[in-house]
Amino acid sequence: MNKFLFSVIVLSFWSSIVSSQDINLIQRELDRSPILKNHFFSFSLYDIEQNRFLLGLNEDKHYTPASNTKIFTLFAVLKHIGDSIPAIHYIEKGDSLLFWGTGDPTFLHPKLGAGIVYNFLSATDKKLFYVGEVRTEEPFYRKGWAMEDYDAYYQPEITPFPIYGNVVTFKSTGNRLTVFPQRFQFAVEKQAFAESNRFRIRRKFDENIFLISSARIPDNYLVHKPFKYSDELFVQLLQDTLQKQVELIQYPKPTKVDTLFSVATKDILREMMLISDNFLAEQLMMTAAMNKYGEFNTDRLRKDMEATYYAYFTDKIDLYDGSGLSPYNKVTARSVVELLLMIAQSVPEENKLRYLFAAGGKEGTLKTTYRLDGGLPFVWAKTGTIKSVHCQSGYIYTRGGRTLAFSFLNNNFLGSAAPVRKEVARIMTFVRENY
């Protein structure tokens, strides 16, 4: 036999044995974990270079993914929105400019507002007419969302034309409370709360009245409260900002409209993924649906994504929102890994792919979860945490020079997610060291 061929066969044989031993070590670590014994978990590991699954434990069982749902939103946006986010649709008719919302969440957003739409509307000498919401099946909350969280910062209403992130910002300035947008400073009322020594703000359920306690305002106080959205309120806020007249009208949308674009898609996706922003996720699904169909129909978009892409998964999945707030969402670890492979194919450049995920030990929701190795991260992933759920899925670069896709889903544990989060990081670090 040719010596070279013989050497290749021997090396391949030993490589297979070593790889098998490495996987056995990882499985043993999972089996012996005292933390994982107390709840249901699912784990799937895939070698991208070898194009094969390495290990799967309960990988075919369905779990609530929490914010790992945003990985599906990321993929939908990559497929249905171009390099920049469509900000508004508009037409010019004589001395008038009529414009429609596209779902773009960045308009006057405290972190993402590039000022493009503001500058455009501010600079025009035409009369401004905002065309109010066309009849739509889109609710302001998704199925399964907790109504009691209506004034929680992480659950703003989903709307056709967001403004200021659809939240009111309250912060302390000296011993005073400042309110922005300023229009809401007239919607603040004092109220006694049960915890009289703790400063609190709460919005009334179905109206824009914000109740504040009489306790001392803490130093460096900062909180965001969702407001109750309406077309009328949007126009009022827009007029306050532009310092010019804007009229609310109903007008049939022509087939041909002009589009003004705002921020780079990759940048808003990165923001959504790194800090796990629910508002951005839901609004981007709205924008993707508008871009694809010319109407807000995220249910249709989810069904089309399933028929076009997710039908090729080994396991069926069920999604009801874009953020992961809904406990109705159900996926398998294996399906999430298969999604990660599709994303890697869509974004083949490694640095661009890693840009879209939080780097462990460096940024976002994984900043304090992992330790850097020689000053460098080795995990790029998305976390997901709601009550009794903690998930982590993404890519890991091992000491053996392999890039692996993984999904680690944990459901139905009691108490804090902190021990589970720590255990996931410990095991993934073990994977890094031993494969």
Under DSSP, the state recorded for 63 is B
User: Is it the case that residue 165 has pLDDT exceeding 70?
Assistant: yes
* Closest of 24, 13, 14, 9 to residue 54, by C-alpha: 24
Per-residue pLDDT at 143 exceeds 80? yes
Q: Is the pLDDT of residue 18 over 90?
A: no
The pLDDT confidence band at residue 12, using thresholds 50, 70 and 90, is very low
Do 136 and 296 contact (CB within 8 A), yes or no?
yes
In this prediction, residues 139-168 reach a mean pLDDT of 96
The string of DSSP codes covering 78-126 is HHHS-SEEEEEEEEEETTEEEEEE---TTTT-TTT--SHHHHHHHH--S
Burial class (CB in 10 A: 0-12, 13-18, 19+), 153: middle
Q: Say what the pTM is.
A: 0.93
Does residue 136 surpass a pLDDT of 70?
A: no
Written as one letter, the residue type at 220 is N
pLDDT average, residue stretch 139-157:
96
Per residue in 301-317, pLDDT (tens digit) is 999 999 999 999 999 99
Choice among 68-82, 92-106, 195-209, 307-321 with the minimum mean pLDDT: 195-209
How much is the average pLDDT of 139-144? Answer: 94
pLDDT grade for 345, boundaries at 50, 70 and 90: very high
Judge whether residue 14 has pLDDT over 80.
Answer: no
Q: Among the listed ranges 10-14, 273-277, 318-322, 336-340, which one has the minimum average pLDDT value?
A: 10-14
Enter the CATH code of domain 20-78+283-434: 3.40.710.10
Residue whose entry in the numeric block shows the structure tokens 């670890």: 333
Number of CB atoms found within 10 A of residue 339's CB: 23
Rounded Cα gap, residues 186 and 47, in angstroms: 58
**pLDDT over 50 (residue 133):** yes
The separation between CA 19 and the C-alpha centre of its own chain, rounded to angstroms, equals 35
With 50 as the cut, is the pLDDT of residue 9 above it? no
What distance in Å separates the CA atoms of residue 361 and residue 129, rounded to the nearest whole number? 48
User: pLDDT tier at 135 (50, 70, 90 boundaries)?
Assistant: low
Residue among 195, 181, 193, 192 at smallest CA distance from 227: 181
Whether cis (ω within 30° of 0) applies to the bond prior to 181 is: yes
Which residues of the chain form CATH 3.40.710.10?
A: 20-78+283-434
